[in-house]
Amino acid sequence: MERPLSGDHELVLGGYGQVAKALRDGIHPDGKYKRPLRDVRLGHVVTKISRPAGAAAAGGAKRGAVCKVYVKNQKKPIEAHVVLCTLPLGVLQHGDVAFEPKLPPFKQSAIDNLGMGTENRVAMLFDPADVFWPEDAHFLRPVRGRYTFANLHALGLTGVLCAWVRAKHIEEVEAMTDVEAFEDVMSTLRSMFRERVVQPREYKVTRWSQDPFSRGSYSYVPVGAFKVRIPYTGPHTNAFAW
């Protein structure tokens, strides 16, 4: 299978929270301590973004004008000359953050016409001495069932096996409690490895579509969104490859 993007597939050991921590603490890429960012605020829930009258949604504001970011349970807004919005598509579609003035029609239309999908997982941490699955295989794909298993143990996360919920079973698993989802995963593992299966130290069930700070897992272009009647393709249309 060809990869659509060049480069290696990388796994961030320790989580993406390390990026925010490095920015907060001022850690330079070479590992040396440098001046931290002037102001990093965690746990601030944004409710509205206001830009100066007449300023474009993605353009520069007039000299001296400021954007205002309103935060939940905080009376005074945060002011800045420029606001870089990295909100997930699901949050934008849900309208959790208001924009003043409203976004231009072309921007709102783009937000509304994209799709936001969900992919949930059940991550399990086992004692390294109890690993009962093939240690070198990156994926375990049972022919039947709701799950594909990612062997993160082989990728550096010692003792971690992650069940990926297959697309057509997402709603079924989201309707389960955490305990029910976990037991369902363990039942699948027992059907694969029989008596070798042991209980994990702990587990975590994700519910990305219900998370107010993501409201989904990934964005995509839905069927019917592409309105062009005669699209073009071929090497002569790719400015980056030729």
Read off the pLDDT of residues 9-29 as tens digits, 9 standing for 90 and up.
777 888 888 887 877 777 666
- Predicted pLDDT at 209: 92
User: What is the model's pLDDT at position 1?
Assistant: 36
112 shares its domain with 151: no
Are 111 and 125 contained in the same domain? no
- According to DSSP H, which parts of the chain are helical? 17-25, 89-94, 105-113, 170-174, 178-193
> Do 129 and 162 fall into the same domain?
yes
Kindly state whether residue 172 falls inside one of the protein's structural domains: yes
Cα–Cα distance for residue pair 100/102, rounded to 1 Å: 5
Host domain of residue 151: 121-206
- Domain annotation covers residue 48: yes
Contact 188, 163 (CB under 8 A): yes
* pLDDT tens column, 136-184: 999 999 988 999 999 999 988 999 999 999 999 999 999 999 999 999 9
What 3-state class would DSSP assign to 22?
Answer: helix
Residues of the chain with confidence (pLDDT) below 70: 1-5, 27-38, 54-64, 241-242
List the CATH number of the domain containing 129. Answer: 3.90.660.10
